[in-house]
A and B are shown apart, each in its own frame.
Chain A
C-alpha cells in the first residue's frame, strides 16, 4: 500500500515544475496539472479498493513508528483524500496563470496529506502548507478587496498557527512523541489533566481558523465575498472539512476527556448562532452563503462533539453534505453574486440553475427526504442521546438554526423567482459551472435513493474512526494496546513526571518494549 504516498508526492512534483514549464507553454502546464490530479484519483481509488474496509499504516521512509512519520489509511481518510483531487479537478482555475496551477496542485497535495497523516507535527506542516497555498490563490491577480481580505486572513491564520504550535509543544513536552497512535497510548497517563486540556484548547483554536470555528472566523465573509466562486467552493467545501477532520482525529485519539468535547460543543453552538444570524442579515448572496457556511461548520463541530460512534456518524453526514452542497451553491452564485434585492426575477428563464438552487437550498435547510434532513436528524438524535443540559441546548440550537436557515433561504428563493423583472442579467451561467453543479445535484438526489447502503457505509466508517484501539494496533502493533490497557488501570496513581530522562542511552528498543520487528512491515499488504 506504500504507493499511496504518490497522492501527496506527485502533485508536489508537478507543482514544482509548473511555473518553469508554464513559461514556455501554459497549455502544457495545465495538462500536466490535470494529468497529475487524474493519477492521484486513480492512486487513491486503487487504495480504496485494496483496503476494502480495513486499516493500514504506512511508515514513510520505512522507519518504525513512533520514530518516523506514518500515514494512516482508513475509510474516512481515503474518502476525504479521494474528495481532494476530485474537487480540485472540478474547481480547477481554468483562466489562471501557471503559478495558480502550481498553487492549486500544492493545495491538493497538502489537503490529501491532512487527510492521511498520522503524525501531529506533520499535520501542522500540511496545515501550514494549505494556508500558504490558499493565501496566494486568494490574493493572486485579484481585486484590491481580495488582497485586503487575504492579508487579514493571513494575520489571523498565522496567529492561530502560533497557538497550534504552542499546543503541540505542550503535548511534546508532556509525552516526548508526535505520533498520534503513540500519543493515544500515552494520553490517559500524561494528558488527561488541565494542562492537556489547555493544549487541546490551543490546538482547537489554531485549527479552528481554517475550520471556521467561532471566535476565529472573521475572515470567512471577507474572503468568500471577494474571490471567485470556484475558489470559495474549494475553501469552504474542502479545506474547512479537512481542518475539522484533523480536530476530530486529535479529539478522538488524544483527548477523550469530556471537557474537551464540551469546549468544542460550546464553540460550535456559538458559531451556529453567529453564522446563521449574520446570514439572515446579509444583503448579498455570496456573503449569505459565507455566513451560512460558518453556521453549517458550527453544526459539524457540534455533531462531532458527541463522543463515540454516534457523533462521528452525524459529523461525517453533515460534513459530507456540506462538502457537496456549498461549492455548488458558490458556483451558482458566480453569476448571481451581488445584492439579493437586485436579483428580483433572476431565476426566471434559467430553470436548470433555479432548480438546482432550490434543491440545494431545501437540502441545506433539511427538508425530508433530502440528505440534509438525515444529517441534521442524526446530529439532534446524538445530542439528545447524551442527555446533559448542554447537549439539549446544542440540539435546540441546531433546530433553531434550521428555522433561521429556512427563513433566509426561502426569502432569497422568493426574490429569485419573483414575477416582476428588475434584473439585468450579466449573461447566463457558464456551462462548466452548471455541469459541475448539476453533478453535485445528481449525487444529492441519488443519495436519497441509496439512503440505506449509505447509512450503513457511514456507520462502518464511523465505527472504524472511533476505534482507538484499532488505530493503535494498526500503527504500533498488539503489544502497545495491552500497555495502554495497563496505563488506564493505574491512571489514578500515576503522576506525569519526566520519565525517561535518566535512562541509559541507545537502548530505546528494549526500554520501551516495542516488538523488535517493525509492526508496520507486518501490516503492509
Chain B
C-alpha cells in the first residue's frame, strides 16, 4: 500500500514535470541576466572563461557559501565519526597489490601537476579551483588506497583548509576595505587570455583549490579510517 502511494506520487510528479516541458523554453534560454554578463563580463572582470567570471566575481558569495558547505560537511563528518576511528590494535585493510602501489606512486606527481595546472588556468580554460582541487585531493588520497595503514595528518589538513578559506574571505575583505565592495575584482585586469590576468580571480581560485583539496582529502581519509566492523 505504501509502495503504491509512493509510486503514484512519483508518477504524478513525473507526469507533471513532463507536461511542464511543453511550456518551458528548453533549448532557447531566455538569457536575460546571462546576456548582460556575456556583454560586459570580459571588460568588467577580465577573465576569458566567463563561467569563472560568474563563479568568482558576479556570484562570488555563492562560491563562499559553497566552500562553507564543504567545510561544514567535513567538520560534521569528523564530528560524527570521531568515536569510530580504527584503534591501534585493529588491523587495517590489507595493503594494495603491486599495480595499485606502483600506480599510486607514479600518478602522485602527475596528479599534483595536473591539479595545479587546472587550478591556475581556471580563468582561461574550462576547469578551476573546484575541479583542480578534487584532482589534488585524489593525488593525496590514492596512496592511502594502496597503504590503508597510513593516514593523512589531520592537523595539517585543518590548517590548510582554515588558511585557504580564510584567504578567500580576506581577499574579499581587502576589496571591501579598498574599493568598498566585498569580493570586488582587485588588481589590474591584464591582457585578456594571458595567465596573469583577471586580477584577483586566480588568487581566489588558488584558495578554492587548496580548500577543496584539503576538505575532500580530509573527508575521504576520515571515512577510510573509520572501522565499519560488525556492530
By the criterion CB–CB under 8 Å, are A60 and B60 in contact? yes
A12-B64 in contact (CB<8A): yes
Q: Of all chain A residues, which has the CB nearest B26?
A: A173
| B25 cross-chain contacts in A, Cβ below 8 A | 173-174, 497-498, 501
Which residues on the B side are within 8 Å of A51 (C-beta)? none
B97 at the binding interface (Cβ < 8 Å): no
Of B38, B62, B176, B181, which contacts A506 at CB under 8 A? B38
Contact of A177 among B23, B32, B59, B69 (CB under 8 A): B32
Interface flag for A478 (CB, 8 Å): no
Inter-subunit contact B185/A113 (CB<8 Å): no
Tell me the complex Cα distance, A109–B182, Å: 15
A326 and B25 alpha carbons, distance in the complex (Å): 46
**Does B33 have its Cβ within 8 Å of any Cβ on chain A?**
yes
Given contacts A12-B64, A61-B57, A500-B32, contact A508 B76 (CB under 8 A): no
B80: contacting residue among A19, A147, A499, A508, CB under 8 A: A147
A508 contacts across to B, CB distance below 8 A: 35-40
Contact A68/B38 with A140-B79, A173-B30 known, Cβ cut-off 8 Å: no
> What are the residues of chain A within 8 A of B62 when measuring CB–CB?
69, 121-122, 125
- Most central of A68, A126, A498 by chain B CB within 10 Å: A68
Contact with A along B39-72 (1 / 0, CB 8 A): 1100010000000000001111110111011011
Given A19-B162, A177-B33, A103–B65 Cβ distance below 8 Å? no
Cβ of B102 to closest chain A Cβ, rounded Å: 34
Judge whether A139 is part of the interface by a CB distance below 8 angstroms: yes
Q: Which stretch in A129-137, A347-355, A420-428 binds the other chain?
A: A129-137
**Chain A neighbourhood of B40, CB < 8 A:** 67, 506, 508-509
Asked if residues A103 and B75 are in contact (CB atoms below 8 Å), the reply is: yes
CB-defined contacts of B175 to chain A, threshold 8 Å: 61
A5-38 CB mask vs B (1 if < 8 Å, else 0) is: 1101100110111111101000000000000000
- Among B25, B29, B73, B181, which residue has the most Cβ atoms of chain A within 10 A? B181
The interface centre, meaning the residue of B35, B159, B163, B169 with most chain A CB atoms within 10 A of its CB, is: B35
Chain B CB within 8 A of A141 CB? yes
Q: Is B99 an interface residue (CB 8 A)?
A: no
Interface residues, chain A, CB within 8 Å of chain B?
Answer: 2-3, 5-6, 8-9, 12-13, 15-21, 23, 59-63, 66-69, 97, 99-100, 102-103, 106, 109-110, 113, 121-122, 125-126, 128-129, 132-133, 135-137, 139-141, 147, 166, 170, 173-179, 182, 186, 193, 195, 198, 497-501, 503, 505-509, 511-512
Does A129 contact B165, Cβ atoms closer than 8 Å?
A: no
Q: In the bound complex, do residue B176 and residue A3 qualify as a contact, i.e. CB atoms below 8 Å apart?
A: yes
Q: 8 Å CB contacts to A: which residues of B66-98?
A: 66, 68-69, 71-73, 75-80, 82-83
Contact status A61-B60, CB under 8 Å: yes
Complex formed: what's the CA distance from A193 to B31 in Å? 20
Complex: A132 Cα to B72 Cα, angstroms: 6
Q: How many residues of B contact A (CB 8 A)?
A: 64
Cβ contacts B164-187/A at 8 Å (1 or 0 each):
011001101101100111111100
A122 near B65 with CB under 8 A, answer yes
Q: Is B225 an interface residue (CB 8 A)?
A: no
Known A61-B184, A198-B20: A102·B75 in contact at CB below 8 Å? yes
Find A97's partner among B35, B68, B79, B185 (CB 8 Å cutoff): B79
Question: Which 6 pairs between the two chains have the least Cβ-Cβ distance?
Answer: A136-B76, A176-B30, A176-B32, A498-B25, A16-B165, A62-B181
Contacts of A132 in B (CB 8 A): 69, 72-73, 76
Query: At the interface, yes or no: B229 with Cβ under 8 Å from chain A?
Result: no
A521 to chain B, nearest CB (A): 10
Q: How far is the CB of B20 from chain A (nearest CB, A)?
A: 6
Contacts of A61 in B (CB 8 A): 57-58, 60-61, 175, 181-185
Judge if B155 is at the interface, Cβ distance under 8 Å.
Answer: yes
Asked whether A9 lies within 8 Å of B182 as measured between CB atoms, the reply is yes
B158 interface residue per 8 A CB criterion:
yes
A195 to B19, CA, bound (A): 10
Chain A CB within 8 A of B16 CB: yes
Residue of B nearest to A201 (CB): B16
Distance in angstroms from B150 CB to nearest chain A CB is 20
Contacts of A512 in B (CB 8 A): 32, 35-36
A171 smallest CB distance to B (angstroms)? 11
* Cross-chain contact B165 with A12 (CB below 8 angstroms): yes
B16 neighbours in A (Cβ, 8 Å): 198
Say whether B24 faces chain A, with CB atoms less than 8 Å apart: yes
> CB < 8 Å: which of B32, B57, B59, B172 contacts A9?
B172
Q: Which of the residues A15, A23, A497, A509 comes within 8 Å of B155, measured between beta carbons?
A: A23
| Whole-angstrom CA separation of A522 from B26 in the bound complex | 37
Interface: B28 (CB within 8 A):
yes
Contact partners of A2 in chain B: CB under 8 A: 176, 180-182
| B residues near A511, Cβ cutoff 8 Å | 35
B11 CB within 8 Å of chain A: no
Contact assessment for A68 and B59 in the assembled complex, using a CB-CB cutoff below 8 Å: yes
